[in-house]
A and B are shown apart, each in its own frame.
Chain A
Amino acid sequence: MLPISVDEGLTLTTLIDILVQGILLGGLYALFAAGLSLIFGVMRLVNLAHGDLIVLAAYLILVATNALGVGVVGGLAAAIPAMFAVGYLLQRLLFNRVLGKDILPPLLTSFGLSIFLQNGMLTGFSADSRRLPAGGVETLSVPIVGGLAIGVLPLLTFLAAVCVIVSMNQIFYRTALGRGFRAVSDDPVTAQLMGIDNRQMFAIAMGIAMVVCAIAAFFLGLRANFDPTIGPARLIFAFEAVIIGGLGSLWGTLAGGVILGVAQTAGAAVDPEWQLLVGHLAFLFVLVLKPRGLFPRSAD
């Protein structure tokens, strides 16, 4: 995406290009955010290590791909159960012990975990930038009207985001497990009276969230370089997408991701250094006008 020069001006094509690229980028941000949204919905936990866990997943995919020699999709297939286990254990051993009425312990614990993970990965993998081997997919594009083209990878990312959200909604609203999640989210005490083991539910939810993080990491690693320090920025994007979209709705999170993506892409089009800033300003703008987000669930 080249910055718009004064000579070119703002043509309709440029605007549509920004919009399309931004929407597709939003798909990636929605993938970052979906796990965060699930965890907050079920157990009111904001995991400050969320971004670092996405990066960890990316490294796991890389390691699995290199070790198993089955290509990067095989690497993802191996990383998914591994990340489920990571999430399950993290919840059972760590977060279940600090969740409670006080907000400080889970926050401070997840912050400590974030620093631990970042520096653990720095120690284990060095600060070198890595990339998942995409075998050329990252350069493919599909032409659409007016001389514009959509990258195949961004398109797949967006479609993956939609699939993940559809799947998660299916789980939440069509399965017994999802019923359990909603009950625990509504009223953890009465849920126990139904025979639901809250700690087990939280652990399963965290496992699912980590699987979504693995999928997010897959697309992140294919499209851009990653290194141990990029976690916090992913957390912030995820968080911004959730807040812009509104708490309690996964489709809202997709919308939030799209708005963030478009804002960032528009900013980058004017000046690459402005990409992040415009995104943050869009977030703050929404926060001031609609503190509960654009599409909050009314029950909250």
Chain B
Amino acid sequence: MALLETRGLTAFYGDFQALFGIDLSVEAGETIAIIGSNGAGKSTFLRTLTGLAPTRPEHIHFDGKPIGGLSAPAIVSQGIAMVPEGRRLFPSLTVEENLLIGAWSQKRAGHWTLGKIYQLFPNLAERRRSPSTVLSGGQQQMAAIGRALMSNPRLLLCDEISLGLAPIVIRDIYAALPLIRQVGTSLIVVEQDIAQALAVADRVYCFQEGRMTLAGKPSELTREMIHAAYFGG
């Protein structure tokens, strides 16, 4: 049984339909990448997973349980955590406080503690007492990832973690992912950078205008197939 499974997932913004029946699964320990252009529905998909956008209970199953439509805090306590697009650290909190707040709903003991996060991202340790606003983009991204890990999630959702960062910085951040996988966490990585997505994922899904247009292992997918799925038509 897959850790996460969506069946016919739909999502609406008022009258506007953003997702048209997505069937997606994540096995325990897997890393899934979702690619697609802007407006394809990737972020909407993550919003329904995390409880920020409404959907029907049976559309999303986690560990066999229907969780669609649960509130965001309830989803977190199920074991799903998100690194939001744009980082969204709390400006009134220091780096350390941002990490600590990630453990707000600490229901599960687990591998990730403050100390372990600092081991994973040493330059956060140096700046632990700084306001989060003085960090560089890359450091903020690391802090956002660390914050999400503090709840010891079984499934980590990463929304566009390479956005706005220099290639060197992106490499450093993605270098941390294997260490996260080692602990047994499953990942969904939403990425605009296709090469990075293919490099890190066990399986890739492609979205286009609210529909899933491609699914498969990176080794099975050709450039042409991805191009067609990405841009459609």
Contacts and interface: CB of A to CB of B under 8 A. Distances in A.
In the complex, are there CB atoms of A and B closer than 8 Å?
A: yes
Interface residues of A, number: 18
B76 A195 contact: yes
Contacts of A187: 88, 90
A192 B91 contact: no
Given A176-B100, A179-B101, A187-B88, A193 B76 contact: yes
Contacts of B93: 179, 182-183, 186
Given A179-B97, A179-B101, A180-B104, A193 B50 contact: yes
Contacts, number: 63
B182 interface: no
Best-buried of A176, A179, A182 by chain B (most CB within 10 Å): A179
B: contact size bracket: 20 to 34
A183 B73 contact: no
Interface in B72-108: 72-73, 76-77, 81-82, 84, 88, 90-93, 97, 100-102, 104-105
Best-buried of A176, A185, A193 by chain B (most CB within 10 Å): A193
B94 to A, nearest CB: 10
Given A176-B104, A195-B104, A197-B71, 19 more contacts: A179-B101, A180-B101, A182-B90, A183-B93, A185-B92, A186-B93, A187-B90, A190-B84, A190-B88, A192-B51, A193-B84, A194-B76, A194-B102, A194-B105, A196-B73, A196-B105, A197-B73, A299-B91, A299-B92
Interface of B: 50-52, 71-73, 76-77, 81-82, 84, 88, 90-93, 97, 100-102, 104-105, 147, 151
25 contacts: A176-B100, A179-B93, A179-B97, A180-B101, A182-B90, A182-B93, A183-B93, A186-B90, A186-B92, A187-B90, A190-B90, A191-B101, A192-B51, A192-B71, A192-B72, A193-B72, A193-B82, A194-B101, A194-B105, A194-B147, A195-B72, A195-B76, A195-B151, A196-B104, A197-B71
